[in-house]
Amino acid sequence: MAPTMMTEQDVRRVQRRTVALLGTAQVFGGIGTGATVSIGSILAVDLSGSNAWAGAVATVMTLGAALAAIPLASLADRRGRRAGQVTGMLAAFAGAVLMVLSVVLAAFPLLVLGAAGIGAGTAANLQARFAAVDLAEAEHRGRALATVVWAVTLGAVAGPNLIQPGAAVGLALGLPAVAGPFVISGAGLLIAVILVFAGLRPDPLLLARELAARTTAGDSAMPGAAPGGRLRRGLRAIRASRPAVLAVSAIVGAHAVMVGVMSMTPVHLQHLVEGPGASHAGHAAEGGVLVIIGFTISLHIAGMFALSPVMGWLTDKAGRTETIMLGFAVLIAGVAVAGFGEDSTTAVAVGLVLLGLGWSASTVAGSTLLAESVGQDARVAVQGVSDMLMGAAGAIGGAASGLVLSGTGYFGLNMLAAAVAAGVLAAASVTTISARRRSAAA
């Protein structure tokens, strides 16, 4: 049906189908991320022969997502959401295949390349939330976005818990047990590609633009802007606003702390359960250690997303800066529990859950504050800069965490993360006190 002939009811029907399809696809697409996070650091140690490389997979996956975000968005801008989604998930499928080959061939470079592909899929998963609101009515945008985010979460939480059945699949196919989860991830990604390629019609972004063209014209200047110009405009807008600086600091700091500790936890748990000498991923799979790791990472991911609606409610009721402060307080509590309880798998799991909750509060409140702290004309550019810095922080955190773990152990890693979180918490506290003093003076 041509856009000019579509009624409001037709558009709503397309929107409902779009959200349902994207949600279903993201459940399958998110599996690869969860499996990679759970097993990647152990495989990196096993294939490289050094704990110093334990953060390589998390680093490359995060960096891959950051680097793929702009090209995938540009592709969607030119050819629609379907093209961007399919391209990103095909890259993730290729990454899953490379993960399997890295285990079979004992090739560390293939593991790194596979992680980059999975990272591109992560970028596509994140952009799916925007596809969910292209056709949404203003009062339903949050609900549509949340539906797709929850779907991604279901896949990401399920991924780590496929480790044990994945091992059985790998052995049944004549592969090493630890390669099996990536076989399941690849199959899920392939299903997601087929769903989006065949079902995302009409394309929500292209249809939304055609519908908007009925009443408006010349509204496409922003999508056509050069990436360099958008970056400069975003940086200028952030520097000009003190709340925006705090918001970006909260988003970037929380992500660096979360990725740094989370990416090294599987290695620590393996050594904790099997002893420092046990670094072989195959042995870990046979001994059931990966089941413990998968369950812990699943709890962490659930902490990141399960209570996000509550964090949004707190942001509105208690205030943006206050919720940021709460988030970083919970982050500090999480790394303290994990660090001081490093000899207990239960304490580490509790710490990881708190780490996820703190990240959720800080990110939700920081993103809300950021959107309110700049003008409408600079908002998209500022959010793009924030996403880039967030990805870079995750990559640096993942890379540095392996070196810190080798030098100071899991306790030292958590204490360093606590210091970073305390710095942002102090900055938020100063901002809050200054704002209250200015308000009282006024």
* Same domain? 368 vs 403: yes
* Same domain? 270 vs 146: no
Give the CATH number, domain containing residue 296: 1.20.1250.20
* Same domain? 16 vs 134: yes
* Same domain? 273 vs 417: yes
Share of the chain above pLDDT 70, in %: 81
* pLDDT of res. 210: 85
* pLDDT of res. 229: 55
265 near 297, Cβ under 8 Å?
yes
Q: What is the mean pLDDT of residues 82-87?
A: 92
* pLDDT of res. 212: 75
The verdict on residue 217 lying in a domain is no
The verdict on residue 65 lying in a domain is yes
> Sorting pLDDT into bands at 50, 70 and 90, what band is 366?
confident
Structural domain count of the chain: 2
| Higher local confidence (pLDDT), 47 or 149 | 47
> Sorting pLDDT into bands at 50, 70 and 90, what band is 93?
very high
> Sorting pLDDT into bands at 50, 70 and 90, what band is 228?
low
> Sorting pLDDT into bands at 50, 70 and 90, what band is 384?
low
| Burial of 347: CB neighbours in 10 Å, binned 0-12, 13-18, 19+ | middle
* pLDDT of res. 328: 97
Distance of alpha carbon 57 from alpha carbon 161, whole angstroms: 19
The verdict on residue 1 lying in a domain is yes
The verdict on residue 193 lying in a domain is yes
* Same domain? 203 vs 245: no
The verdict on residue 264 lying in a domain is yes
* Same domain? 173 vs 278: no
pLDDT digits (tens, 9 = 90+) for 152-166: 667 666 666 677 787
Q: Which of 211, 244, 266 is the last residue of a domain?
A: 211
* Same domain? 435 vs 339: yes
- Rounded to the nearest integer, the mean pLDDT of the chain is 80
> Sorting pLDDT into bands at 50, 70 and 90, what band is 282?
very low
> Which of 85-94, 119-128, 363-372, 373-382 is the least confident region?
373-382
* pLDDT of res. 296: 86
Distance of alpha carbon 433 from alpha carbon 249, whole angstroms: 17
Range of the domain at 305: 225-442
* Same domain? 246 vs 195: no
* Same domain? 171 vs 249: no
User: What is the number of other CB atoms lying within 10 angstroms of the CB of residue 2?
Assistant: 7
> Sorting pLDDT into bands at 50, 70 and 90, what band is 169?
confident
* pLDDT of res. 412: 94
Q: Which of 156, 177, 211 is the last residue of a domain?
A: 211
Q: What is the mean pLDDT of residues 380-390?
A: 71
Is the confidence at residue 286, as pLDDT, over 60? no
* pLDDT of res. 436: 75
* Same domain? 348 vs 412: yes
Q: Which of 211, 235, 262 is the last residue of a domain?
A: 211
Q: What is the mean pLDDT of residues 14-33?
A: 85
* Same domain? 230 vs 129: no
* pLDDT of res. 284: 45
* Same domain? 169 vs 310: no
Is the confidence at residue 136, as pLDDT, over 80? no
Q: Tell me the range of 60-69, 75-84, 184-193, 221-230 where mean pLDDT is highest.
A: 184-193
The verdict on residue 95 lying in a domain is yes
The verdict on residue 218 lying in a domain is no
* pLDDT of res. 224: 46
* pLDDT of res. 285: 45
* pLDDT of res. 400: 87
Predicted TM-score (pTM) of this structure? 0.68
Is the confidence at residue 139, as pLDDT, over 70? no
pLDDT digits (tens, 9 = 90+) for 394-419: 878 877 888 898 889 999 999 999 99
The verdict on residue 171 lying in a domain is yes
Is the confidence at residue 292, as pLDDT, over 60? yes
Is the confidence at residue 119, as pLDDT, over 50? yes
pLDDT digits (tens, 9 = 90+) for 315-342: 778 888 998 999 999 999 999 999 999 9
